[in-house]
């Protein structure tokens, strides 16, 4: 029996499978992601992060292709009451319509804190298939052994496949709480561009983080995960605050230094996020470090930290069009403007390549320099680090037929 690949709903995760049968893995960003495995009468297990499906011996009589999929489509999520909280990913098990000879066990992770004391746990299922989904309904079980709630997961038995998720209802008078992951993404730091930090609030299990990594990558292919931390959120209807607490000197915030993530989207597991924008005020500062503090409003002392740090790629430095108070730095910038570009006029005037050859750089180093943002800048930095003089530099530039560059050096020679 074959299962339909759920193209429209799949996300990008790293998939792991184990035990009996043949498995397939999909982990490419942006590609449909699912975990499928061929299992026969001997039984087997499929694992997708903390989601686990166990098919016992004899549950199926013929070889069947089984699949687990994480559903991220917002329209597929159940409509929750105000106090309810989505505590697990939405998981589709397939093939739909199959009936097992004996019950199989499905395990879903949850993000509830003190689950036995403060929460009533509901397992919801949504009958149908991807093309014909019904309403969400609460599952019931004949005996306690059919549904087991542990500190970090819920496992239950079923004879059929459909969509499943875990929802929590805080018990009356309890101080129910759940763990959320704050995940900060940043763009690549580049000179004379804004530096952005986007902070997401996710349910605290790995599946949600990988989902957001995929979404963030689609928004900005140069983005990267900067830091993560876990925050405990209580059922008190108070929003989540994210503050810029400390920022490297030479940088400033553009816009607000404090952002709010509303309580209800956080509680309902809807991935709310906020964005901070920074700009450089000092071109000599080639790095940025930012400390973010986050807490639930009214619990200022129970904050968690996110640290964002990056540095300008080597050789980018400040713009060669800018002037500084350092004469040597100003000379380097003038020479970068002259020596970085390729010679397109078919003259004998050299550029950074001829300069590197005269210095004695071997071919592998020249090829590596070709991959850098400013080869001339790297060569000049090394020149002065080695203690070579301006006179020697002027002579070298004349050798490679660059009197224009040599005349720039002339301006900086002692009189």
47-84 b/e (C-beta count within 10 Å ≥ 16 → b):
bbbbbbbbbbeebbeeebbbbbbbbbeeebbbebeeeb
pLDDT at 327: 87
Q: Given 144, 170, 196, which residue is the final one in a domain?
A: 170
Cite the DSSP H helix spans in 88-231.
Answer: 115-118, 206-219
pLDDT at 197: 92
Question: pLDDT tens-digit profile of 207-217?
Answer: 555 555 555 55
pLDDT at 271: 86
**Residue 155 falls within a domain, yes or no?**
yes
pLDDT at 129: 58
Question: pLDDT tens-digit profile of 41-56?
Answer: 999 999 887 899 999 9
Is the pLDDT score of 26 beyond 70?
Answer: no
Is the pLDDT score of 23 beyond 50?
Answer: no
Question: pLDDT tens-digit profile of 56-70?
Answer: 999 999 999 999 988
Is the pLDDT score of 203 beyond 60?
Answer: yes
Is the pLDDT score of 117 beyond 90?
Answer: yes
Which CATH number fits the domain that encloses residue 185? 2.60.40.2660
pLDDT at 39: 94
Question: What whole-number percentage of the chain has pLDDT above 90?
Answer: 52
* Pair 67, 185 in one domain: no
Burial class of residue 11 in the structure, from the number of CB atoms within 10 Å of its CB (0-12 exposed, 13-18 middle, 19+ buried):
buried
Which CATH number fits the domain that encloses residue 72? 2.60.220.30
Mean pLDDT calculated for residue range 283-291? 84
Which residues, listed in sequence order, are joined to residue 242 by a DSSP beta bridge? 259, 294
Is the pLDDT score of 5 beyond 70?
Answer: no
Question: pLDDT tens-digit profile of 217-261?
Answer: 555 556 678 888 999 999 999 999 999 999 999 899 998 999 999
Q: Given 170, 189, 215, which residue is the final one in a domain?
A: 170
Question: pLDDT tens-digit profile of 331-386?
Answer: 998 998 999 888 766 678 899 999 999 999 998 889 888 888 788 988 998 999 89
Domain hosting residue 335, numbered range: 327-410
Q: pLDDT confidence of 187, banded at 50, 70, 90?
A: confident
* Pair 157, 296 in one domain: no
**Residue 270 falls within a domain, yes or no?**
yes
The pTM is what?
0.68
């Amino acid at each position: 029996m074959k299962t339909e690949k759920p193209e429209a709903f799949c996300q990008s995760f790293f998939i792991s499978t184990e035990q009996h049968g043949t498995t397939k893995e999909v982990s490419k960003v942006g590609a449909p992601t699912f975990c499928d495995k061929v299992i026969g009468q001997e039984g087997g297990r499929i694992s997708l992060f903390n989601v686990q499906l166990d098919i016992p011996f004899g549950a199926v009589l013929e070889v069947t292709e089984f699949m687990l999929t994480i559903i991220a489509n917002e329209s597929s999520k159940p409509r929750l009451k105000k106090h309810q909280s989505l505590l697990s990913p939405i998981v589709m098990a397939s093939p739909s319509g199959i009936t097992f000879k004996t019950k199989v066990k499905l395990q879903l992770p949850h993000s509830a804190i003190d689950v036995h004391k403060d929460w009533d746990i509901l397992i919801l299922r949504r009958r149908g298939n991807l093309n014909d989904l019904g309403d969400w309904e609460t599952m019931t079980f004949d005996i306690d052994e059919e549904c087991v709630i542990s500190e970090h997961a819920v496992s239950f038995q079923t004879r059929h496949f459909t969509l499943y998720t875990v929802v929590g209802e805080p018990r009356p008078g309890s101080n129910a709480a759940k763990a959320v992951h704050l995940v900060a993404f940043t763009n690549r730091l580049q000179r004379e561009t804004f530096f952005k930090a986007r902070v997401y609030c996710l349910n605290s299990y790995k599946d949600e983080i990988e989902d957001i990594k995929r979404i963030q990558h689609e928004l900005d292919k140069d983005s990267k995960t900067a830091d993560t931390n876990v925050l405990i959120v209580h059922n008190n209807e108070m929003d989540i605050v994210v503050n810029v607490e400390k920022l490297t000197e030479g940088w400033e915030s553009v816009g607000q230094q404090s952002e709010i993530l509303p309580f209800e989207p956080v509680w309902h597991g809807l991935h709310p996020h906020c964005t901070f924008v920074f700009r450089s005020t000092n071109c000599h500062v080639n790095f940025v470090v930012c400390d973010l503090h986050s807490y639930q409003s009214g619990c200022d002392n129970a904050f968690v930290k996110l640290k964002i740090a990056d540095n300008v790629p080597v050789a980018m430095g400040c713009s060669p069009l800018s002037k500084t108070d350092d004469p040597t730095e100003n000379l380097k910038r003038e020479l970068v403007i002259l020596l970085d570009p390729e010679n397109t006029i078919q003259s004998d005037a050299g550029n950074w390549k001829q300069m590197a050859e005269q210095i004695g750089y071997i071919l592998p180093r020249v090829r590596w320099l070709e991959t850098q943002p400013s080869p001339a800048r790297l060569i000049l930095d090394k020149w002065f680090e080695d203690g070579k003089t301006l006179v020697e530099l002027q002579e070298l530039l004349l050798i490679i037929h660059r009197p224009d560059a040599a005349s720039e050096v002339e301006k900086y020679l002692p009189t």
